[in-house]
C-alpha cells in the first residue's frame, strides 16, 4: 500500500504502476460532467464568456488542482441548509463520460490524478504520460465507506450545477484506490478490454 499526500510529486507518480493500491490523504476536488464541460467551454476552449462567479471559482480551484486530484463523484451531502456540509455517500461515478474533456483539463490545470470507476481512454492515458499523472479506480458500491474517509468539506464551487455536479473541496484521510492507468502508458482497462474482445470474437466465431 502506497500512502500518498496531496499535492503529489512527479517523482511519486512515476514510481507508481498499474495494479498498486494507494491510500490518499490531503485535499481533492470532486467534478463530473457539468464541471468538466464548464472548465473546457469557459477557460480552455473559451466558447463562452465567464459570467456570475465563474472567474472567482476559477481562481479558487486553480491552485487546488495544480498537482492535485479530481474525483469523479456525485456525493450525497448533508447540512445544505446550515452550510455545515458533511458527505453521507461519496462513491465514484463512471469516468468514461469525461474522456472528451479530461486530458485538456489535466494539461490546463496541471492535474496529476483522476479518480473514478471504469477507467478512461487513450486521450486521458496520453495526458497521464505527459503530466505525469495517473488514474485511480475507486471502489464502486462502497459510497458510505468512502464517505468516512472524507474528514472535512472545505468548500464548494458551482453549487448552481446541483449537489452531485458541483465542485466540492474535500479533505480526506486514507482514501482507498488502485492505480489502473499509470504514467508509463499502462492501462489495466485497455488490457481487460482487449481480453474481453478476444473472448467475444471467439464466442461469435462458434455461431
**Residue positions annotated with a catalytic role:** 36
185: left (phi over 0), alpha (psi -120 to 50) or beta: left
B/e letters for 146-170, b = 16+ CB within 10 Å, e = fewer, are bbebbeebeebbbeebeebbbbbbb
Contacts of 36 (CB under 8 A, 6+ apart): 98, 101, 102, 105
Parallel, antiparallel or unpaired: strands 86-89 and 2-5 = unpaired
Amino acid at each position: 500500500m502506497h500512502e500518498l499526500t496531496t499535492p503529489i510529486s512527479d517523482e511519486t507518480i512515476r514510481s507508481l504502476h498499474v495494479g498498486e493500491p494507494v491510500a490518499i490523504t490531503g485535499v481533492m476536488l470532486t467534478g463530473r460532467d457539468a464541471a468538466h464541460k464548464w472548465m473546457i467551454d469557459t477557460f480552455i476552449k473559451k466558447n463562452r464568456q465567464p459570467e456570475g462567479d465563474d472567474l472567482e471559482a476559477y481562481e479558487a480551484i486553480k491552485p487546488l488542482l495544480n498537482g492535485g486530484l479530481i474525483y469523479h463523484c456525485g456525493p450525497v451531502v448533508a447540512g445544505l441548509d446550515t452550510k455545515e456540509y458533511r458527505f453521507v455517500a461519496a462513491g465514484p461515478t463512471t469516468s468514461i463520460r469525461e474522456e472528451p474533456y479530461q486530458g485538456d483539463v489535466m494539461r490546463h490545470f496541471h492535474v496529476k490524478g483522476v479518480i473514478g470507476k471504469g477507467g478512461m481512454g487513450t486521450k486521458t492515458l496520453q495526458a497521464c504520460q505527459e503530466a505525469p499523472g495517473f488514474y485511480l479506480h475507486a471502489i464502486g458500491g462502497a459510497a458510505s465507506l468512502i464517505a468516512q474517509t472524507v474528514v472535512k468539506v472545505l468548500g464548494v464551487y458551482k453549487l448552481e450545477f446541483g449537489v452531485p455536479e458541483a465542485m466540492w473541496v474535500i479533505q480526506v484521510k486514507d482514501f482507498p484506490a488502485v492505480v489502473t492507468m499509470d504514467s508509463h502508458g499502462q492501462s489495466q482497462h485497455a488490457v481487460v478490454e482487449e481480453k474481453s474482445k478476444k473472448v467475444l470474437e471467439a464466442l461469435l466465431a462458434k455461431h
